[in-house]
Copies of this chain bind each other. A is one copy, B any other.
Amino acid sequence: MQHNRTSIADMAKALNLSSSTVSRALNDHTTISAKTRSRVQQLARELNYHPNHLAASLRTGRSNLLGVLVPHIEGTFFASVVHGIETMATKAGFKVMICQSNEDVEHEKRNIDTLINAQVEGILVSLSRTTHDTKHFDKVHQRGIPLVFFDRMLDTRDVNAVVLDDYQGAYQVTTHLIEQGCRRIAHLAGPEHLNIYRNRRQGYLAALRTYGLAEDESLIISSDVTLADGAAGMTQLLALPPAQRPDGLFSASDFALVGALQTLKEHGLRVPQDMLLAGFSNEIFTSFTEPRLTSVDQRCEELGQETVRLFLEILAVGTATFQSRRIVLPPHLLIRESSKRG
């Protein structure tokens, strides 16, 4: 079978016109007569013409490509953010190239190169868990490519970012537990070097201070906050002398919280009667467990949309003159049975 890949030149020849005229007709230029335009567009349809964006991009210097770099797209959070990004980007005429770092800095570095080589007009990134510095993003700056971080970032000056107010979220949820009567609230904390986990921990500590509750190191357990980590954390907490046991738990991740819940049940303890629980992220399954789990919603779609919006602003202004900006979205506390006393 002869593969039918019509070019502008082909159509120009067929219609006895010049390439420029055909190009203009296809792009609805005003300076083209209605008759020529319709003739061209008619033929394009007949021949099933598809423009070669590669060629157009090379010529115009505009690829209409937007690079997105996430740790992974499994799980609710990033999948939803990416969905928000995709929606907004498409609306603005951009195609999205998605790369996953698999939580590995080396992967992340390679992905950055891939995106640069693909001539993306902007890069939206959420850092991998193993990223401790961001030197590999310098070349993005050097090339004048708009760079926007979302959710996971390092606290460098002068970066564009869209983040959830993790501090506020943690503060609210901890306050809620205190108001429900908890006096010894444990915390399953995530890796310190990531802003989101550090902020959640700070918010938790701040709420304790506000209510005059003592901070207790034995109640703060750091891990990668997976389901297994949550289970292990709870085991550790239950091993404390009875007087030191927590009466409430705030987990920096819903996954870890489920692990903790399962361990509690295995020990014959009940929620919320024996311990109040609250998590973070509002994963879909927080409504599927028993009891349903209180959590903090991260407004994933909005986060994605705001990230694209910020990118578009930078693109319009130009990286050289754009004043770096950080957008902080307020979180939504969702109270469910796991944290309601009585």
The chain A residues found within 8 Å of chain B, CB to CB, are: 1, 3-5, 48, 50-55, 57-58, 63, 72-76, 79-80, 82-83, 86, 95-100, 113-114, 116-119, 139, 142-144, 258, 284-285, 288-290, 320
Asked if A83 and B72 make an inter-chain contact with CB atoms under 8 angstroms apart, the answer reads yes
Q: Is the CB of A118 within 8 A of B289?
A: no
Q: Which residue of B lies closest to A265 (CB)?
A: B290
Say how far A15's CB is from chain B's closest CB, in angstroms: 21
Bound CA–CA A319/B100 (angstroms): 30
Q: How far is the CA of A86 from the CA of B119 in the complex (A)?
A: 19
Complex CA distance for A96 and B111, rounded to whole angstroms: 12
Interface of A is mostly: mixed
User: CA A258 – CA B83 in complex, angstroms?
Assistant: 24
Chain B residues near A51: list those with CB within 8 A.
Answer: 117
Evaluate contact between A116 and B54: CB separation under 8 angstroms.
Answer: no
A95→B114 contact, CB < 8 A: yes
Whether the pair A98, B100 counts as a contact (CB closer than 8 A) is no
Given contacts A1-B320, A50-B116, A73-B73, 18 further A-B contacts (CB under 8 A): A1-B144, A3-B143, A4-B142, A4-B143, A48-B142, A52-B58, A53-B119, A54-B118, A54-B119, A73-B79, A74-B79, A74-B83, A86-B98, A95-B114, A97-B97, A285-B288, A288-B289, A289-B290
Best-surrounded residue of A54, A80, A139 (most CB of chain B within 10 A) = A54
A97, B116: Cα distance in complex, Å: 15
Chain A to chain B contacts (Cβ below 8 Å), 16 pairs: A1-B144, A3-B142, A4-B143, A50-B117, A50-B139, A52-B119, A54-B58, A73-B82, A74-B76, A75-B79, A79-B79, A83-B100, A86-B99, A96-B98, A97-B97, A284-B285
Residue of B nearest to A68 (CB): B98
Complex CA distance for A118 and B114, rounded to whole angstroms: 16
Whole-angstrom distance between the Cβ of A269 and the nearest chain B Cβ: 14
CB distance from A332 to the nearest CB of B (A): 18
Min Cβ gap A26→B in Å is: 12
A100 to B68: give the CA distance in the assembly, Å.
15
